[in-house]
Amino acid sequence: MSDQQGFSPRERRASFTLAGIFGMRMLGLFMIMPVFALYGENLVGFSPLWVGIAIGAYGLTQAVLQIPAGWLSDRIGRKPVIYGGLALFAAGSVVAALSDSVYGVVAGRVLQGSGAIAGAILALAADITREENRTKAMAIIGVCIGMSFAAAMVAGPLLAALFGLSGVFWTTAVLALVGMIMVRFLLPESVSKGQIRDVTAAPELFGRLLKDKQLLRLDVGIMLLHMTLTAVFVAFPLSLANAGLVPEHHWWLYLPALILSFVLIIPFLILGARRNMNKLLFQASILVMMVALVLMALGQGKLWLLAVAMVLYFTAFNFMEASLPAFLSMLAPAGGKGTAMGIYSTSQFFGAFLGGVLGGALFQQLGGAGVFLLVALTMVFWFWLSAGMANVSRVRSHILPIGVKIESESARSQLLQRLMALPGVHEALIIPDEGAAYLKVDGNIFELDQAKRLINL
């Protein structure tokens, strides 16, 4: 039992277990980023271009398969898809660990990315949690993903120093197996609710959402953000080594920089939410990232300047990584958040792949400084693109089960009109096949209990 506002024990266990599984998988994907350029030199075929491809290769298969994997989980269940995805991730890790060539590592990374379980995990979280607790469950998963990136910046250099590059991949294989054990013994059983439009994509909405200029700005933004991330980590570890910081001590810079960046973004997140300054602060973050990239280019051989640049980079990155999904949630139409998030995530993973390829190609031709400067130029384009962003306000989404099945079109139309008449309701959508009403509301004035009473009359 639990109070109305809190998690039940079942919801709490499911939320933290799913967050742990998601986080361990992302940890495995991220750990290679700060070390591959340094520890892959003995691999057959090693070159800056192939470094970039290896770092970003997972993003290509992830981008292609994550929406279909979510649809598959609607048909065959969440757990089979999660088991299969973790098995593919483990297999890819083993392929990479046993490879003596960069081409084998790339094949392993491609296989890792094919274990696209993000959609199934989010859908299972939605299946198990009540609507009033779903946002909290998703937030726990999101925090765990952020923590996994921070942990990867520390664990990657430490593991590579102790066990070599293959040791990093063997660790990711073990993490995948631990994830499968967690699915088996810690995840509560659930009945799949099929498609839940706040977490899974609806094919009929793709055309409409791809034409939405506000959502398209967010999709391009997350693509550019993750393009910079993989491009930076093609070159930055070598810049640190050239500045005199031995590879096994790189985490001495990454960990304090990440901690400081998390501290720095908190007041800005609060300020943006309370003062309706989201757009202004977001554009400021783009400029901060551009400055950080220029400092990286100027800081070749200067460890203190590289450290300052990384603090600025992580601060801007973490602010935008937290802000973009929130903007998307506010801008997506009622019943369209899952589809919008599917397109957004596909853009994110494609950006990771693109950044790896471009970063490797640029490093091969222009060196590290050239990578940082040319990526900085993309921030100019992003800043221009962001000028047309809406300054989103306090908009929230709700999914309400319809207590009585509504057979006739006229009855559904009447219910829709009554919902739209409630204070604070911007959009309402009734999906008879799901037995649910999707609402977009102003969180300052909307009363959830009033809507529930209306729907269950």
Average pLDDT in the 78-83 region? 94
pLDDT above 60 for 87: yes
295 and 158 both lie in a single domain: no
Q: CA–CA separation, 265 vs 252, rounded Å?
A: 21
Q: Which of 11-20, 274-283, 311-320 has the lowest mean pLDDT?
A: 274-283
Same domain, residue pair 358 and 260:
yes
Domain hosting 220: range is: 203-393
pLDDT for residue 407 is more than 80 = no
Is 302 part of any domain?
A: yes
- Per-residue confidence (pLDDT) for residue 457, from 0 to 100: 58
Give residue-wise pLDDT tens across range 342-370: 999 999 999 999 999 999 999 999 999 99
Q: Are residues 434 and 318 in the same domain?
A: no
* Number of other residues whose CB lies within 10 A of the CB of residue 58: 30
**Domain endpoint, select from 196, 215, 233:** 196
* Residue showing tokens 């277990």: 17
Is 221 within 8 Å of 382 (Cβ atoms)?
A: yes
Give the tokens for residue 316.
């801007």
> What is the distance between the alpha carbons of residues 169 and 265, in angstroms, rounded to a whole number?
32
Pairing type for strands 425-431 and 436-442 reads antiparallel
Identify whether 3 is part of a domain.
no
Domain of 406, CATH number, reads 3.30.70.100
Query: One-letter amino acid identity for 144?
Result: C
| Residue 283 within a domain | yes
- Say whether both 341 and 276 belong to one domain: yes
Nearest alpha-carbon partner for 400 in 337, 338, 339, 451: 451
Q: What is the mean pLDDT of residues 34-51?
A: 95
Read off the CATH number of the domain in which 324 is found: 1.20.1250.20
Residue 2 lies in a domain: no
Residue 349, in any domain of the structure: yes
Considering 101-105, 408-412, 416-420, the range whose residues carry the highest mean pLDDT is 101-105
Span 221-247, pLDDT tens digits: 999 999 999 999 999 999 999 999 999
Q: Which of 151, 172, 196 is the last residue of a domain?
A: 196
Average pLDDT, the chain: 90
- Gap between the Cα atoms of 125 and 117, Å rounded: 12
CA nearest neighbour of 294 among 312, 320, 273:
312
Q: Does residue 455 carry a pLDDT above 90?
A: no
Which is more confident, 102 or 268?
Answer: 102
My answer on whether 179 and 299 are in the same domain is no
- Angle 407-410-414 (CA atoms, 0-180°, nearest 5)? 105
79 within 8 A of 181, measured Cβ to Cβ: no
* Residue 366 and residue 388 share a domain: yes
Which residue, 326, 323, 336, is CA-closest to 209? Answer: 336
Length of the chain: 457
Task: Judge whether 400 lies within some domain.
Answer: yes
Strand order in the sheet with 425-431: 395-401, 436-442, 425-431
Do 388 and 399 belong to one domain?
no
In whole angstroms, give the CA distance from residue 146 to residue 144.
5
Which backbone phi and psi does 175 adopt, to 5 degrees? -60, -40
**133 to 11, 125, 144, 323, 450: CA distances (angstroms):** 8, 10, 17, 21, 18
Whether residues 162 and 213 share a domain: the answer is no
Kindly state whether residue 1 falls inside one of the protein's structural domains: no
Question: What is the model's pTM?
Answer: 0.91
Q: Are 435 and 403 in the same domain?
A: yes
How far is it between the farthest Cα atoms of the chain? 73
- Rounded to whole angstroms, the Cα distance separating 3 from 318 reads 33
Task: Tally the domains of the chain.
Answer: 3
C-alpha distances (whole Å) from 17 to each of 52, 125, 129 are: 32, 10, 13
Whether 239 maps to a domain, the answer reads: yes
Last residue of a domain, one of 147, 178, 196: 196
Q: In this structure, are 260 and 380 located in the same domain? A: yes
Tell me, yes or no, whether 28 and 104 share the same domain.
yes
Estimate to the nearest angstrom the gap between the alpha carbon of 108 and the chain centroid. Answer: 21
pLDDT digits (tens, 9 = 90+) for 140-186: 988 898 899 999 999 999 999 999 999 999 999 999 999 999 999 99
Residue pair 356/234 in contact (Cβ under 8 Å)? The answer is yes
Q: Return the closest-CA partner of residue 66 out of 209, 199, 210.
A: 199
Secondary structure E strands in 339-457: 395-401, 425-431, 436-442
Q: Are residues 388 and 421 in the same domain?
A: no
CB 200 within 8 A of CB 26: no
